Homo-oligomer: A and B are copies of this chain.
Amino acid sequence: MAGDNSIFVGGKPFMNYVTAIVMQFTTKNADEIIVKARGKFISRAVDVAEVAIKRFLKDQVEVKDIKIDSDEFENKEGKQVRVSSIEILLSKK
């Protein structure tokens, strides 16, 4: 699920991610893109995917699959923390 066609959503300006998705599908002619995010950026990844496909790639691209997962690890204070993640697979119709 890794590779060139993954877009990792974080704290950069919102439209950066939308533009990256649109460019991949149009200029770079990708067939599929995976939009990924962790923790609090999961909501943002959903927003990014929705704006990309509904405003810019309407009738061209669809959500093909969504996976959620989580990993537990120890933080600096020695406390167990669980961090969720999402992968949204966008695909040309």
User: Contact residues of A with B, CB < 8 Å?
Assistant: 39-43, 46-47, 49-51, 54-55, 63, 66-70, 82, 84, 86, 88
Known interface pairs A43-B41, A43-B42; A70-B54 also in contact (CB < 8 Å) = yes
Chain B residues with Cβ below 8 Å from A82 are 47, 50-51, 54-55
Copies in the complex: 2
A63 to B67, CA, bound (A): 9
A50 lies within 8 A of B68 (CB): yes
A84 lies within 8 A of B40 (CB): no
Chain B residues with Cβ below 8 Å from A55 are 82
Q: CB-nearest residue of chain B relative to A37?
A: B43
A49 to B84, CA, bound (A): 10
